[in-house]
Amino acid sequence: MEIPSSSAREASPRGLWLPLITPFRDGELDETSLRRLIRHYGALGLDGLVLAGTTGESLTLDENETQQLVEVSADELARQGYRLPLYLGLSGSNTRKLAKWLHRLVDWPIAGQLIACPYYSRPSQAGLIAHFDALADSTRHSILIYNIPYRTGVNLGNDAMLRLAERPNIVGVKDCCADPAQSAELIRRRPPGFSVLTGEDAFYHAALSAGADGAILASAHVETAGFIAIRDAFARGDGPTADSAWRRLADLVPLRFAEPNPAAIKYWLWRTGLIDSGELRLPMTPVSAALAARLDGAIERLKPAA
């Protein structure tokens, strides 16, 4: 399969991306709510959407549902005239299986894939390089590496990351390494066009302050305009405005992760009418009554004045 030229770097993700929840109703993918979400978030000025990520409960989706999720989202974006790139979340520890999956995705209406490091098997740094090299050889789409060692059990170090950054279609990383020193070093050493996007919602402001190229944030489902305002303030070098906007949002971020993600976000979207059900798939469960009460209080406080 033909591998993209270095022009793929021109499309490296930057700015604020949303890892979209997957709406369910009565055990099925809720297409009506999905289209409503696409219309809503497509109009707000985000830089892209990630479908079937962790927040999208990807591990509970079968192949047909994943394809439906992508096709419906792309169709609704086209209907509305929104030019918003879609990335598809992928994960797994079987390199050959993932490579075959990438071959099947070649004609899907996506701009790239967000691919997590192999989980549970804990390969060496050499194994991680070989894994992502094989995947890069299997697609002409862009690849964004997802480094999240507290979920996968393995940390992709900066030396290995920079080796992979030499590949034209490995265009960046969603950085959840949980080590500020590692993140700062990567930002300093990254080659031109290789994007470092934080995936740690609580570190959004700090990461942009340190020079990160953007973020992929589940929290941005709520008060999206505020997260966009921070992105825009940093882009024009307006630190005081970014600081002020972050102070208004910072206390809301822990609330959305008080119980396993995406339960709180789905509850919020359901209570505010963006989705028709807050339904999750096992092993995820709905929010507790105590958290529901806290979320209801926050929703009430954030209502616009009559």
Task: Return the domain boundaries, the chain.
Answer: 6-248
Which strand (E) or helix (H) includes residue 88? strand 86-90
pLDDT in the model for residue 305: 64
Q: Which residues are catalytic?
A: 146, 174
pLDDT, tens only, 286-299: 999 999 999 999 99
Q: Rounded distance, CA 120 to CA 208, Å?
A: 31
Residue 49 identity (one-letter amino acid): L
Q: Give the single-character DSSP code of 117.
A: P
**DSSP-assigned beta bridge partners for residue 173:** 145, 196
Instruction: Output the pTM of the full model.
Output: 0.95
Residue 22: HSE in the Cβ half-sphere, 13 Å Cα cutoff: 28
For the segment 154-162, the average pLDDT, to the nearest whole number, is 98
Lowest mean pLDDT among 3-12, 55-64, 88-97, 154-163: 3-12
b/e per residue, 153-171, with b = 16+ CB within 10 A?
ebbbbbebbebbbebbbbb
**φ/ψ of residue 236, rounded to 5:** -100, 10
Task: Tell me what pLDDT residue 303 has.
Answer: 83
Question: What three-state secondary structure class fits 16?
Answer: strand
Domain 6-248: state its class: alpha beta
Nearest Cα residue to 268 out of 281, 255, 285: 255
Average pLDDT value for residue range 129-156: 97
Q: Which residues are annotated as a binding site for pyruvate?
A: 55, 216
Q: Is the pLDDT of residue 7 over 60?
A: no
Q: Where are the alpha helices (DSSP H) in the chain?
A: 31-42, 63-80, 95-104, 125-136, 149-152, 158-164, 180-189, 204-209, 224-235, 239-249, 252-256, 263-271, 289-302
How is residue 298 written in tokens?
């926050």
pLDDT digits (tens, 9 = 90+) for 192-241: 999 999 999 999 999 999 999 999 999 999 999 999 999 999 999 999 99
Contact at 8 Å (CB) between 180 and 196? no
